[in-house]
């Protein structure tokens, strides 16, 4: 009952000084809005990262590749190893790695893609039919590469959705002939759209897919492949699967473990989340400066309020109010002021977050940044508002509680 009376009294006091209340709320609102906007930025970055991980096949994905340069003796040197990843590595991985669910190979080349005289610089990805299973990616029209395409080195290709829309203007391209680096290929399928990636110009929707055997015979490279991509049977088996794959590759290449490198999506997710958290916290700390300034404003306003209401304090104490009651009354006003500012700040922060997402999409047209307001951000903001109210309101409330009835009434 006492809390309800304090709330009613606090509302009455705040309503009685409208201009002072509005100016104080403005500071809290801006501070909380900054915190919400920065946390929205971090949550958007995390959502974008997870979307990219799903696009490459999910968190249980991992891969092996041969880098052009390796670090030796604290400096970068050209990778002069005589060993290269080969098709036999893929076959042995599928046969001898029980923790691997599915695997494929890929090679990427920048190419000139031509349709009816219309040129386009894009990327070719040479792979196998298992690529669909590894990436969890289906064709929207037509079919993907098949074993027969691999066995007979067929000059067929599957195109990304953006290539289809921009090069063929949305018409049916299945069965049409196109030119890839001045060699004729037949379109057999169109991939589902995966959206724009983080790397400009390297969107999956902008890719051309052909059989790896065709690339090896038509574009050189013999039996070599650029990378091996695989997916573990579960995210918990990623490390085990990676260990099995490394064992097979080293066995096939005389025990050499220096010519190749590995990556896995699970570790990338952990590192990415850690980096996003650090950036988010730095931004939140910067945004919190406005919140601290607003808290100092509350301290000042509450001290003025205590000075103006000394006779009221004396009268309340004279009729039986305790120091605790007086302290609680002023703390209620301070916290209520901050909570109202927090709610307004959450709304403003959501608008700012949406504006940031729109600005990124407007100026970086190939990047769609999501605006995400999480429950955690809302709870933190409300908690921060209450904490500011208590921290900066406690001193004025204590000053009011220390007054004696006689001194307070004499002040009139």
Residues 96 and 120 in one domain: yes
Task: Dump strand ranges (E) for 181-313.
Answer: 183-191, 207-211, 227-232, 261-264
Q: Which residue did the predictor score with more confidence, 404 or 99?
A: 99
42 and 85 co-located in one domain: no
Asked whether residue 60 is domain-assigned, the answer is no
> Residue 346 and residue 35: Cα distance in Å, rounded?
9
Taking residues 48-53, what's their average pLDDT?
83
Q: Return the half-sphere exposure (C-beta side, CA atoms, 13 A cut-off) of residue 211.
A: 21
Six-digit token string for 194: 């995966």
Give the pLDDT of residue 199. Answer: 52
Q: 68 vs 361, which has greater pLDDT? A: 68
In a domain, 333, yes or no: yes
**225: pLDDT strictly greater than 90:** yes
28 and 79 fall within a common domain: no
Judgement on whether residues 42 and 138 belong to the same structural domain of the protein: no
pLDDT, residue 13, reads 75
What span, in angstroms and rounded, lies between the C-alpha atoms of 349 and 35?
A: 8
Average pLDDT over residues 266-294: 85
**With contact defined as beta carbons under 8 Å apart, do 183 and 155 qualify?**
yes
Is residue 264 in a domain? no
Q: Is the pLDDT of residue 366 over 70?
A: no
In the chain, how many domains are there? 2
Cβ of 400: how many Cβ atoms within 10 Å? 26
DSSP character string of 275-297: HHHHHHHHHHHHHHHHHHHHHHH
- pTM, to two decimals: 0.73
Question: Residue 293: pLDDT above 90?
Answer: no
pLDDT at residue 144, as a whole number:
97
**Under the phi-then-psi rule, with left for phi > 0, alpha for psi from -120 to 50, and beta for the rest, what region is 11?**
alpha
**Domain that includes residue 324, residue range:** 2-54+270-410
Does 2 score more than 50 pLDDT? yes
> 247 and 278, same structural domain?
no
Return d(Cα 333, Cα 330) in angstroms, integer. 5
| Inside any domain, residue 173 | yes
**61 assigned to some structural domain:** no
Residues 71 and 165 in one domain: yes
Average pLDDT, the chain: 87
Question: Do both 97 and 134 map to the same domain?
Answer: yes
Is 120 inside any structural domain?
A: yes
Average pLDDT, stretch 200-221?
84
Q: Residue 294 falls within a domain, yes or no? A: yes
pLDDT number for residue 202: 65
One domain for residues 100 and 247: yes
- Whether 202 and 221 share a structural domain: yes
Specify whether 248 is located in the same domain as 279. no
pLDDT at 348: 92
**90 and 202 belong to one structural domain:** yes
Domain boundary among 259, 285, 312: 259
Please tell me whether residues 108 and 251 are part of one structural domain.
Answer: yes
Tens digit of pLDDT for each residue in 129-166?
999 999 999 999 999 999 999 999 999 999 999 999 99
Q: Is the pLDDT of residue 1 over 50?
A: no
Of 1, 39, 62, the residue nearest 239 (C-alpha): 62
- Nearest Cα neighbor of 51 from 191, 238, 197 is 197
């Amino acid at each position: 009952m006492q809390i309800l009376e304090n709330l009613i009294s606090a509302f009455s006091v705040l309503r009685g000084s409208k201009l002072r209340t509005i100016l104080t709320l403005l500071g809290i609102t801006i501070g909380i809005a900054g915190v919400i906007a920065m946390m929205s930025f971090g949550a958007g970055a995390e959502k974008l990262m997870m979307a990219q991980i799903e696009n490459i096949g999910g968190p249980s994905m991992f891969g092996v590749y041969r880098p052009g340069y390796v670090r030796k003796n604290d400096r970068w040197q050209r990778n002069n190893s005589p060993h290269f990843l080969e098709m036999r590595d893929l076959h042995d991985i599928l046969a001898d790695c029980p923790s691997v669910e599915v695997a494929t190979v890929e090679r990427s080349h920048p190419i000139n893609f031509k349709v009816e005289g219309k040129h386009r610089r894009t990327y070719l990805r040479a792979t196998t039919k298992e690529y669909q299973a590894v990436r969890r990616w289906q064709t929207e029209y037509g079919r993907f590469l098949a074993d027969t395409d691999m066995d007979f080195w067929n000059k067929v290709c599957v195109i990304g959705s953006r290539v289809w829309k921009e090069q063929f203007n949305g018409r049916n391209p299945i069965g049409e002939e196109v030119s890839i680096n001045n060699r004729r290929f037949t379109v057999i399928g169109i991939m589902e759209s995966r959206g724009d990636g983080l790397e400009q110009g390297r969107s999956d929707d902008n890719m051309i897919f052909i059989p790896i055997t065709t690339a090896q015979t038509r574009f050189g490279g013999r039996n070599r492949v650029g990378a091996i991509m695989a997916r573990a049977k579960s995210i918990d088996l990623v490390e085990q699967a990676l260990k099995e794959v490394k064992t097979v590759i080293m066995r096939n290449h005389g025990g050499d473990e220096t010519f190749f490198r590995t990556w896995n999506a699970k570790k990338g997710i952990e590192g990415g989340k850690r980096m996003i958290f650090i950036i988010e916290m730095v931004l939140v700390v910067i945004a919190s400066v406005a919140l601290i300034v607003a808290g100092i404003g509350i301290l000042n306003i509450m001290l003025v309020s205590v000075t103006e209401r000394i006779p009221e304090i004396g009268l309340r104490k004279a009729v039986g109010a305790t120091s605790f009651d007086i302290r609680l009354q002023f703390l209620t006003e301070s916290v209520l002021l901050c909570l109202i500012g927090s709610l307004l700040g959450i709304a403003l922060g959501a608008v700012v977050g949406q504006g940031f997402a729109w600005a990124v999409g407007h100026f970086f047209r190939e990047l769609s940044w999501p605006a995400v307001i999480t429950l955690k951000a809302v709870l933190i903001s409300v908690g921060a508002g209450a904490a500011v109210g208590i921290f900066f309101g406690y001193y004025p409330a204590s000053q009011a509680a220390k007054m004696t009835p006689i001194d307070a009434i004499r002040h009139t």
